[in-house]
Amino acid sequence: MKILITGSSGFIGFSVAKKLLNQGHLVHGFDSMNNYYDVNLKKNRKKILDKYKNFSFSKGKVENNKSLSKSILKFKPDFIIHLAAQAGVRYSIEKPRIYLHSNIIGTYNVIELAKRVKVKHLLIASSSSVYGANKNLPFKEKDKTETQLSIYASTKKSTESIAHSYSNIWKLPITMLRFFTVYGPWGRPDMALFKFTKAILKNKKIDVFNKGKMYRDFTYIDDVVKSTELLINKIPKLNSKKKYKYDSISKVAPFRIVNIGNQSKIYLIDFIKTLEKELKIKPNKNLMPLQKGDVKLTLSSTNLLKQITGYKPKIKYKVGIKRFVKWYRSYYNV
């Protein structure tokens, strides 16, 4: 398969690309290599991908249609996995405009080009944050999502809407991947596990929001990679004979939304306790109020993912944290 991956130097993009390259597919990466977090981490991920003969790369911004179209029209992918985005709930309060450009204009450009080259399937990263203030747990794909709490979440919801209309008009097969708090080796320095590990190892205080009274559905990177990989060839079709329980988002377009989560409720405080055991250092905690724009609870229903792919994410957080710490210690030599 010829697969174009945007955000290929990012945490999830790199991990997905590596898996697909190992399977022998031709992968073209596209990434701006921006400095939202440590660029060296992105460069080191890319260095690993560069070793593969079946990998090629272009540097550019997805909102720059000229540079994006050059890559896509030249590579002519069969599939596109669009993961490039300005991520992070907190930063979207400071710099909302970046989110509108990268996530909305950028995603629009990807969708339009996917239509032009007639890809077999376009997969786009959305986020559990689109469930916003929803109270019915676990979150299911068919639930209404009207109450996003941050600009980051709103941009992700907007892309779902744009994608659906394109899929309807052009019958372009699209799957939106609603990821739930992904963590693991090569993870993102702006996310809790990375920040906590770094601070604890330096004997610095860690900020614990909502005084730790919140839970997340933490999803291990290998489960995310496996789920994404399996979904590539599960192309949504109109009038498919195969009916899935929650696959009722659209009756008019070959469009589908799938939660990629672990379907387990992990209290932040338990998550920190496990990390403490792993690092063998007791953290000093700054108990803080809930951050603006943040949600207190996330929990996915992964029934649809299971029905479509036969796969259910399974890595327990204690195992995942152990593997992360092992990677962190070896990567940073601590």
Query: What angle is formed at CA 181 by the lines to CA 156 and CA 126, rounded to 5 degrees?
Result: 20
Residue 285 has phi, psi (to 5 degrees) of -105, 135
**62 in contact with ligand NAD (CB under 6 A):** yes
State how far the Cα of 267 lies from the Cα of 212, in Å rounded to an integer. 7
Name the residue whose CB lies closest to ligand NAD.
Answer: 10
# chain residues binding ligand NAD, by CB under 6 A: 27
Q: Which of 304, 302, 296, 333 is nearest to 315 (CA)?
A: 302
Told to check if 86 binds ligand NAD by CB under 6 A, we report: yes
Q: Tell me whether strands 79-82 and 55-59 are parallel, antiparallel or unpaired.
A: unpaired
The one segment of 27-35, 192-200, 262-270, 271-279 that binds ligand NAD by CB under 6 A: 27-35
Provide the total of helices (H) and of strands (E) in the chain, helices listed first. 12, 13
Q: Does residue 183 have an active-site annotation? A: no
Could you tell me which residues are beta bridge partners of residue 174?
A: 122, 255
Q: Residues 175-214 vs ligand NAD: string with x where CB under 6 A?
A: ----x-xx-----x--------------------------
Residue 39 or 169: the one with the smaller Cβ distance to ligand NAD is 39
Which residue in the set 4, 83, 100, 295 belongs to the binding site for ligand NAD (CB under 6 A)? 83
Which residue out of 152, 166, 220, 328 is catalytically annotated? 152
Half-sphere exposure of 174 (CA within 13 A, CB side): 32
Structure tokens at 240: 């498919």
Residue 186 beta carbon to ligand NAD: minimum distance, rounded to whole angstroms: 9
216 binds ligand NAD, rule: CB under 6 A = no
Where on the chain is the footprint of ligand NAD (CB under 6 A)? 7, 9-13, 31-34, 42, 61-63, 83-87, 102, 106, 125, 127, 179, 181-182, 188
Active site residues: 152
